Amino acid sequence: MDPRNPYTQSSYLGHLNNIHENLSYDSFPSTVNFGASEIPHFSSQQSDAPSPPEVTAAERSQRTKWTPADDEVLISAWLNTSKDPIVGNSQKGGTFWDRVGAYYSGSPHAIENGDQRNHRHCKQRWHRLNDQVNKFCAAYSAAERQLASGEYDTDVLKKAHHIFFTDQGTRFNLEHAWCLLRHEQKWADLNFNI
């Protein structure tokens, strides 16, 4: 796999897209409408889209907020890069984040929106997402242990939000990221080891 072109593994990307399509969000009330996502599926062929325009110093100084759609692309980039069957875990941290940044920047979502985030932005956002999702997994696991007869998954989710707020002193607003990551091996193991 060419590290400058993360889209050459079409069968693996197809596998990730299938995982994403099979996730069920219906049982959890969410602040994000996942059905209305405008992120196109990644192609196995390189896009002929023009490169994004150059960024001026004034634009560079503005902080761009991460949207749930941006987070979804970042999560896909991280998962794709970390599960790469060819390179595996034998890549250095700098190389890993360079590949994640290239994947994010080369995504149709980033190209369409002229999103100019580099690998450092991706790394910082990922660490925040990972930290908050890990803490919410702990809260969700605690809420599952408190499940009473007659309660549903939505009740567990409400309890998890309450536990998170009590422990962290802030609301959990990354439910969209948790929904994407909760069934991945790393986060699924968190629910059983706490």
Query: pLDDT tens-digit profile of 77-120?
Result: 898 888 877 776 677 777 888 988 888 888 888 888 777 788 88
Q: What is the pLDDT of residue 148?
A: 82
Domain, as residue range, for 107: 10-19+66-193
Pick from 183, 190, 180: nearest CA to 32? 180
Q: 80 and 11 in contact (C-beta within 8 Å)?
A: no
For 57-76, what is the mean pLDDT? 79
Asked if the structure places residue 175 within a domain, the reply is: yes
Specify the higher pLDDT residue, 155 or 55.
Answer: 155
Give CA separation, 179 vs 8, 9, 20, 71, 101, in Å: 27, 25, 10, 12, 22
For 141-154, what is the mean pLDDT? 85
Asked if the structure places residue 47 within a domain, the reply is: no
**Average per-residue pLDDT in the chain?**
74
* Angstrom distance (rounded) from CA 125 to CA 40: 22
Q: How many structural domains are present in the chain?
A: 1
* Angstrom distance (rounded) from CA 184 to CA 194: 16
